[in-house]
Each structure stands twice: as C-alpha cells, then as structure tokens.
A and B are shown apart, each in its own frame.
Chain A
Amino acid sequence: MSITIQNVTKRFSRFPALDNVSIEIASGELIALLGPSGSGKTTLLRIIAGLEFPDDGGSIQFNGHDVSRLSAYKRKAGFVFQHYALFAHMNVLENIVFALRVMPRRMRPTEDAIRTRAKELLEAVQLTGFERRMPSQLSGGQRQRVAFARALAIEPAVLLLDEPFGALDARVRKDLRRWLRAFHERIKLTTIFVTHDQDEAFEVADRVVLIDKGVIQQIGAPADVRAAPANAFVSNFLDIPPRV
C-alpha cells in the first residue's frame, strides 16, 4: 500500500515538531526515519498511525485515500511501540489475538480460527509454547517478538515500528535487524521504522529519510545519501567528511 505524506505540520507548543513534511512512499518499501532525538520522527510515525493528527493543511493518504482524520482504530496500521506496550495483565496468547477479539461481531473469526491464527503467529516469531506466559516473565527480545506478532495479527497494510530494537542489547539487535530485512524481502509489506541509529537505518532500509528539528534534510537510498550528503547536518550526523 502506498503512503503519501503531504505538507504535514504539527505544533505542540511554539516550535513545530514537524514542519511542512512531505514524503512519497511506494507500496512495499522499507523506509527508515532517521534523526536525533527530538527531530520529530516519532511524531511523524504516530501521525501516520492515527495516534496524532496533523495540523490543518496537512494530509496523509493511504493508496490515494485521505485518512488524515481517521482514528487509529480504523486505519489498520500495525504499530510496534518502543517499549512494546504489551498488555501486562494478559498472557502472550491473549495479547496476540487481542485485535481479533475486538473486531466487530460480524467480521470476527470463530474461536477456532482465532486459535489457529495465534498458533501461526507464535510459530512465526518462534514463541510456540509461550501462550500462557505473562509479559513480565519474558525477556526483552521475547516481548519484542510478541509485540510484532500482535501487530501482524490485524493483517496490516503498513507496519510502523518505533525504535523497535532500541531497548535490546547489541547482539540481539543485530540478529533482529537482519531478520527484519529478510522478512521484508519475502513479504514486501510497506514498513516504516524510526531510529536514531544510522547503522540500523542504512543496513535495513530501501530508502532513508533524514529529519532534524521537524524538517526533512534528505531522502534517498542509503548508498546515494552516503555518496552525496545534501547538507551539513547530514554529513555531520553520518560522520561523512563534507565534500569540498
């Protein structure tokens, strides 16, 4: 599903978190939003998800339809939160099938169908057998995978990841990074992830969007950006010596 972000501005106080941001994302792309903290990248992700709404004049379009004012629960954007936001009082199984359980009755699958789907998702994230565990009993990496499976249960048209690997240790991070890339190769689900780690962005993404202070600094494939940084911010942020 293609996503068009047009003239999105978002003000929380005097200074805009996002200032006239426009991006075109083709269906099936894996995009990284890269920038320092406070750059507005998480705000943009939340606006795409429907957890925030752009100020007047901006719009978000999914496949050409304007969804700017549509609330998150109608958008079918799978969202993985930075600290997973698992439902602490539900076990792994209940977390994963939550989306299926809250569907309107006429669309809701049968209990058997739900259970089968849950099994598939658990297998996919390699957590078979963990159905009854509570989130507090899981490691960071395991919680991460539950959060993934949960978001995928709704068969989302786009996957949004907010610093998905930020809270994990370096080795797990590397593994999961490679896994994400491989997963994306097979599924080609439009995916946008936020990170402040440039290695992560460059290793995983098809294209990288560099943001600073709410303004887009550069968009391009990793190799292109490396070869031709657009301005001083980009070169500094990526530690590329500026061209003369």
Chain B
Amino acid sequence: MAGASSIQLHRHGSPRRATAESPVAKAILIAITLVFFALFLFLPLVVVFQEAFSKGLALFVRTFQDSYTQDAIKLTLLVAAIAVPLNTVFGLAAAWSLTRFRFTGRSFLVTLIDLPLWVSPVVGGLIYVLVFGAKGWFGPWLIDHNFRIIFAVPGIVLATVFVTFPFVARGLIPLMEAQGIKEEEAALTLGANGWQIFRRVTLPKIKWGLLYGVILCNARAMGEFGAVSVVSGHIRGKTNTMPLHIEILYNEYQFAAAFAVASLLALLALVTLFIKTYAEWRTEKQLLEAARDQHP
C-alpha cells in the first residue's frame, strides 16, 4: 500500500528544482486548470447566488415565507434526521465487522456497500416502487391497510436511506483498517468488554473519519433528487423535499424563487465541503501517526 510505505510522505512537498517545468509551461497548465475549474465549478456556484437575488432581496425573503417552501424544508430536515442516524449506525456496525474480523464473503459485503454509488439514483427509487408501489409486491396489501409508502414520506425516507448508506461506512473502513486492532486487543487483555472497547478505545480514534462520513451522508440525504423524484409523487406540501420543490418552481418559471431555495442548498454544500476538508485533514494526521507507530 503506497500510503503506508512512503513514510517520506511529502504532502504538498517542497519545490523541486531539477524536475520543474519551465515557467511558461507552468503558467499554461495553471491557466488551463483555472479556466476548467472556473467554467465547471465556480461559475455554476456564482450563478446560483446571483440568480437567487436577481429579483431583489424582497422576493428572496418571500420565497422562504411561502408555506410550501417551508414544508419542503421541514420534510428535507425530517428525512435527513431519520436517514443519517440510521446509516451511521449501519456504517459503524459494518465497519466494525469488516475491519476487525476476517471471514468469507467479506469482499462481497464491501462491494455491496458500494452499490448505491454505481447505480443510477432513478433505479434506486425504482426498486422501492417495485416493492411498495400500487402494482408492486406489497402494493395491494398496503392499500388494504391504508398505509402508503410510495408517494408518501416513508418512501422518501427509504429511497434516501438507500442512496446514502455507503458514505459513513466508506469513511470509516479505510481508517479503521489502517489503524489496526492492537489497541482494541490491548483493551481486551485489560478486561474491557465489547461496548467498553468500542466506546473508550475505538470511537475516540475514529471520530474524524466518522464526522467525514456523516457530513457527506447528510449532504447527499438533503440533496438527493433522482431517487426521491421517483417515489415522491411531488405532492406539494406533503411529499416535496427541497430539491423537488426547486424543480417545481423552476418548471413554473419562478426562476428566482427556485434559485433562492437552491442557494440554501448550495450554502449547505459549501459548509459540507469546509467541514469535510477539515475532517479529512485530521483523519490524515491520524493515519500518518498510525503508520509511524507501526514503524517506530
């Protein structure tokens, strides 16, 4: 594994003279990169905020006073409040079982965990419609019992859980893998039981990786569009999340309003990036220390 072996980990290393490009080449490359990023990263972001305020602050504020918008925000928060903790518990359990033990089927499980990242979100919503929709497996049963999953909040929660469950696990697995189990074994010889080991030894070690996973899980949960679009029914005030509400506003040509709501999510994205970068940095420090301790 390259990371662990190169203790000469010169991250963002010092300038290298003998192997540096000519200043002209450098300038061109930097320019290309800047243009590429500006075009594909910065401009879209700028557009969101600019368009949000294009009809003035008054409209911006009024958008958020609209009850449908508020319902959309509340639903988004509710869904995230359910999906993120559920997936966090799953991520912790999966990471523990996959990194502290060896058993057959391990790699299958790891691949399964990555599945939502490969599958189209629309397929992610489709599968729940196939199970719970009106013509799905449990459709008739649900109708008889007057319980709705598709076109109702439970369906949205399910679809969101599906698309976001890899994130916490993927944040934890490489970290816990690299940290090794020696400290946990030491705790075991000192008389600690499973919960004590987890709470006192493992959790403090993984907290930054955990934060990283949770923050990404949350960002995706709040912003999910494709999967939720399939299961939601787009019922204003009831089954509309913020991204869906943006779509509705946009299709009704209420562009400024759409961008106003979008700007809130864009802000969330920026905060997520910020926290993520910080958590990543702290995790890397821990990984470096772990590597160093293995080769004192």
Contact = CB atoms under 8 A, between A and B. Distances in A.
Q: Do A and B bind each other?
A: yes
Interface in A44-76: 49-51, 71-76
Contacts, number: 75
B189 A51 contact: yes
By DSSP majority rule, is chain B's interface helix, strand, loop, or mixed? Answer: helix
A83 B181 CA distance: 12
B190 A153 contact: yes
Nearest to A76: B191
B180 to A, nearest CB: 9
Contacts of A89: 204-205
Contact of A88 (B183, B187, B196, B296): B183
B182 interface: yes
Give the one of A78, A86, A87, A167 with max B CB within 10 A: A87
Interface in B198-217: 200-201, 204-205
Contacts of B204: 89-90
Contacts of B201: 87
Given A72-B189, A77-B189, A151-B189, A98 B183 contact: no
Contacts of B188: 50-51, 71-73
B191 A88 contact: no
A89 B202 CA distance: 10
B193 interface: yes
B21 interface: no
A232 B239 CA distance: 80
A154 interface: yes
A144 B182 CA distance: 15
B293 A98 contact: no
A150 interface: yes
B289 interface: yes
A87 B187 CA distance: 9
A71 B190 CA distance: 11
Contacts of A153: 190
Interface string B284-296: 0000010001101
B289 A99 contact: no
Interface residues of B, number: 20
Given A88-B289, A136-B289, A79 B196 contact: no
Contacts of B183: 85-88
A222 interface: no
B32 interface: no
Interface string B114-158: 000000000000000000000000000000000000000000000
Interface string A133-173: 00010001000000000110110000000000001000000
B293 A73 contact: no
B293 A81 contact: no
Interface in B163-203: 182-183, 185-193, 196, 200-201
Contact of A83 (B187, B200, B296): B296
Contacts of B200: 87, 98, 101-102
Contact of B196 (A75, A85, A102, A150): A102
Nearest to B195: A102
Give the one of B186, B187, B196, B296 with max A CB within 10 A: B186
A146 to B, nearest CB: 11
Contacts of A103: 191
B190 A99 contact: yes
B192 A83 contact: no
A85 B289 contact: no
Contacts of B205: 88-89
Contact of A81 (B182, B191, B196): B182
Contacts of B289: 88, 136
Contact of A79 (B186, B294, B296): B186
27 contacts: A50-B188, A51-B189, A71-B188, A72-B185, A72-B188, A73-B189, A74-B191, A75-B189, A77-B189, A79-B185, A81-B182, A83-B293, A83-B294, A83-B296, A85-B185, A86-B186, A87-B187, A88-B183, A88-B205, A102-B187, A102-B190, A102-B192, A102-B193, A151-B189, A151-B190, A153-B190, A154-B191
Given A73-B188, A85-B183, A90-B204, 9 more contacts: A73-B193, A79-B185, A81-B182, A83-B293, A85-B186, A87-B201, A89-B205, A102-B200, A153-B190
By Cβ-Cβ distance, the 3 closest A-B pairs, closest first, are A99-B190, A85-B182, A79-B189
